[in-house]
Chain A
């Protein structure tokens, strides 16, 4: 077992895990953060995407011990003082989800994407979030949600 500290959503979390414990399992089972979903367990669907020092990664392809000491943001950490982030609000407002299982992954991916590219074109949106699968929506309202999130972010006081 390895005693490691993960900085999850700004809080240092100490956890003792075997070397092969996946970050997704560590978050869900050891830390009780079940907002990160596991859809395929091999890095295809993107439902388990979290931010590692701000960059989107597949938590199902990451061993927890390899990210010791790093900053991890999960869907539970996207809101500020209980207020959903602009990306979260946009997905709710634009009906960018149905069953919602893929949503946390899309939210993390989109959050990082819009930080890099705050005013993306249509093509850039498609490419930016093409690594996440959704089975319910046919993606049309997810595309709208990303554009709406960009608008809401632009309106946010800095």
Chain B
């Protein structure tokens, strides 16, 4: 390892991952790698139907199989039978009915995973099928539609109402759709539940938020929280998919029933059914502007399909509504954002969280408006760009730097890639190309995104850090303990860098995350560097203050620490936020806003409908660069997921059933799909945040999708109002154009 010695590697430097060596040697223990002698394997029987009554469950054939230790149904749930992030409406195991394909119905524990799987298949469930509600707009607006949820089919309706002028010289109107995207982390859901002597359970899982898991698991087990202890196991990616529970309660139930450790590992197919997805969206937008391209008004209707249970749909709707016009100044806004219940797969958190869907629509609208006004895509965005002091559609004033116009100018001035090569490998479709590229056209497009950082709308969003300085082998050493989930993003480095910077000690150990320290909140909403970073900073400052007092008489650090360790625990909260008004949508609902802009250059074979992204350039303002290498990795990765949504990623659902639950049929970008990136990272500090930093993980996922879609439109001249853009959308529509 090349970590510099004798020099504190603090904030702003490219400290290498402390877990990097274990991850390259294969020693890092992911949740799927955990093993205890004598453990059993759990398996989950899931509904094959999107909507059905359960008339009977016969577990007899499964229980009779050799090697099977337990078969459980909802009748065996020891405590509360429902859980959920925002509403506790999801049954631990289906009770008398199933509301989506893949809903868990029964559990098996057996001495071998194959036995457990076969036993689950041997359970006989008597289903009585009923019609599935699969059209979210019908679910929301047709009073005759069956109710999927006892509270009605609308999870949340959030309006935004500002101004009263809804006429303009130039008006563009269109409908847009975003398909259902999967987080597609590479390490499927898994974990180990170990029954404890005190009647509780120790749970080792890959999750994004240990304490919210604990809050949901304990009541369902009928246990007090202190008897459900969670430790973070190695996490193979998250991207929102681990915010909801998967196997946590199930494994714990089996462990408590059998008295043995239970391991559950989902396969890839089960993973597609075992977590929530990005809400598919239907959106109708109308933009009005003056002839010179100044926005007068925006009207929008946004329908987000949340599927069968609530998950985090209410907050997703809030984001779509509050950020629904994007980072543009506009005085008159009329938005209605809805989340619906249907019998489609449940949807919830995924990187970008409600802001992604709206961004595709409002950015597509800005391009239409540019064309209608005879302006360039860059110019119309610059003319309407927010800046510090601007008022958002919610009435919230942008009170920190927001140099969008400058970011766009910088992006537009970046050099463009050279003309496409005639090498077959460089053509759209690569070596699968069947032509010599006669139909290839180049296109350029721009996208702008604005994302709220941290939890919004009045949520008590905080993190806790315990920092201890002690002598180890005669040398001062820092221990940093938080419950924050390292999911790959590199928080483990940022915490270490903050401790080094604040304490000037370069021997720092990050203690494994568990529930013996206070909540850190979720590793989502791009919030951990901000909130857990803030907590680590505050705890380090408190330790430093005590050390300074102890050393006031001139004692050395080692002398002071010889008397014993110095430890402090601190909670950190960001500025409070406030709920959106339920009628007008007004309110200071966000604590921090982050901007990213993308330029995409694509080559499109208009005859074959194949797209090759040639280059992606981005400008992002991160306030303060904490770790350049890790930050660039976040922007690259977020951009790639936006590329996936633009061109290839969609869970295809027909009549409530998933058609493509595998990596053969659900496509994520490969190294040949992802082009080289050109980055410019700005540091305009947010004075309210630790070190002035801005959350950075999500913004690039917003803006890359509309930039690529715009580039494909630019190359083809097609309207392309839906992502992912499929080859058919281009080739079939484009045959006239190519001829």
Contact = CB atoms under 8 A, between A and B. Distances in A.
Q: Do A and B bind each other?
A: yes
Contact of A41 (B16, B183, B267, B670): B267
A104 B28 CA distance: 11
Interface stretch (B249-257, B377-385, B484-492, B719-727): B484-492
B663 A133 contact: yes
Contact of B633 (A45, A136, A143): A136
Interface in A13-44: 28, 32-42, 44
B24 A41 contact: no
Interface of B: 1-2, 14, 16-17, 19-21, 23-30, 32-33, 35, 183-188, 234-239, 267-268, 423, 425, 487-490, 629-630, 632-633, 635-641, 662-664, 668-672, 674, 676-677
Interface stretch (A51-59, A64-72, A86-94): A86-94
A39 B490 contact: no
A84 B24 contact: yes
Nearest to B635: A138
A117 interface: no
Given A136-B633, A138-B677, A47 B186 contact: yes
A145 to B, nearest CB: 10
A39 B674 contact: no
A123 B425 contact: yes
Contacts of A34: 26, 29-30, 32-33, 35
B23 A40 contact: no
Contact of A141 (B237, B423, B636): B636
Given A84-B24, A141-B632, 18 more contacts: A34-B30, A34-B33, A39-B236, A76-B25, A78-B25, A95-B20, A101-B186, A127-B425, A130-B672, A133-B186, A135-B641, A137-B633, A138-B635, A138-B669, A139-B671, A140-B636, A140-B674, A142-B671
A99 interface: yes
A39 B187 contact: yes
Given A93-B2, A93-B16, A99-B236, A141 B24 contact: no
Contact of A130 (B23, B236, B639, B670): B670
A101 B24 contact: no
B663 A42 contact: yes
B637 A88 contact: no
Nearest to B676: A140
Contacts of B1: 89, 92-93
Given A39-B188, A101-B236, A137 B664 contact: no
The CB with the most chain A CB atoms within 10 A, among B2, B186, B488, B632, is that of B186
B719 to A, nearest CB: 28
B425 A100 contact: no
Contacts of A134: 186, 671
A8 interface: no
Secondary structure class of chain B's binding surface, majority of residues: loop
10 contacts: A84-B21, A92-B24, A95-B17, A99-B185, A126-B671, A135-B237, A135-B637, A136-B633, A137-B636, A140-B633
Contacts, number: 176
A78 B27 CA distance: 12
A101 B16 contact: no
A75 interface: yes
A136 B30 CA distance: 16
A74 interface: yes
Contacts of B663: 39-40, 42, 44-45, 133
Which of B21, B183, B671: most chain A CB closer than 10 A?
B671
B268 A88 contact: no
A153 interface: no
B430 to A, nearest CB: 9
Contacts of A129: 671
A151 B617 CA distance: 28
A102 interface: yes
Given A98-B633, A99-B185, A126-B671, A139 B640 contact: yes
Contacts of A47: 186
Contacts of B26: 33-36, 74-76, 104
B180 to A, nearest CB: 17
A92 B187 contact: no
Most chain A C-beta atoms within 10 Å of own C-beta, residue among B26, B633, B663: B26
Contacts of B664: 42, 44
A88 B237 contact: no
A75 B22 CA distance: 11
A142 B630 CA distance: 13
Nearest to A100: B23
A150 interface: no
A39 to B, nearest CB: 4
A54 to B, nearest CB: 18
A131 to B, nearest CB: 8
A107 interface: yes
A138 B188 contact: no
B262 to A, nearest CB: 16
A40 B182 CA distance: 14
Given A34-B33, A95-B16, A99-B186, A136 B639 contact: no
A139 B674 contact: yes
A37 B676 contact: no
Contacts of B25: 35, 75-76, 78-79, 84, 88
Nearest to B426: A123
A39 B239 CA distance: 16
A135 B239 contact: yes
Contacts of B632: 95, 140-141
Contacts of B671: 126, 129-130, 132, 134, 139, 142-143
Given A39-B187, A39-B188, A42-B662, A97 B23 contact: yes
Given A137-B636, A139-B671, A99 B237 contact: yes
A79 B677 CA distance: 32
B587 to A, nearest CB: 34
Contacts of A102: 186
Nearest to A85: B24
A49 interface: no
Contacts of B488: 97-100, 136
A36 B187 CA distance: 12
A37 B187 contact: yes
* Residue of A32, A39, A102, A130 most packed against chain B (CB within 10 A): A39
Contacts of B487: 99
Nearest to B431: A127
Nearest to B14: A95
Contacts of A45: 186, 663
B24 A99 contact: no
Contacts of A139: 636, 640, 671, 674
Contacts of B23: 92, 97, 100, 103
A136 B237 contact: yes
Query: Nearest 3 A-B pairs (CB), nearest first?
Result: A35-B26, A99-B488, A138-B636
Contacts of A140: 632-633, 636, 674, 676-677
Contacts of A133: 186, 663, 668, 670
A62 B674 CA distance: 29
Interface string A106-135: 010000000000000001001101101111
A142 B236 CA distance: 17
Nearest to B24: A88
Contacts of A93: 1-2, 16
Contacts of B672: 126-127, 130
B639 A138 contact: yes
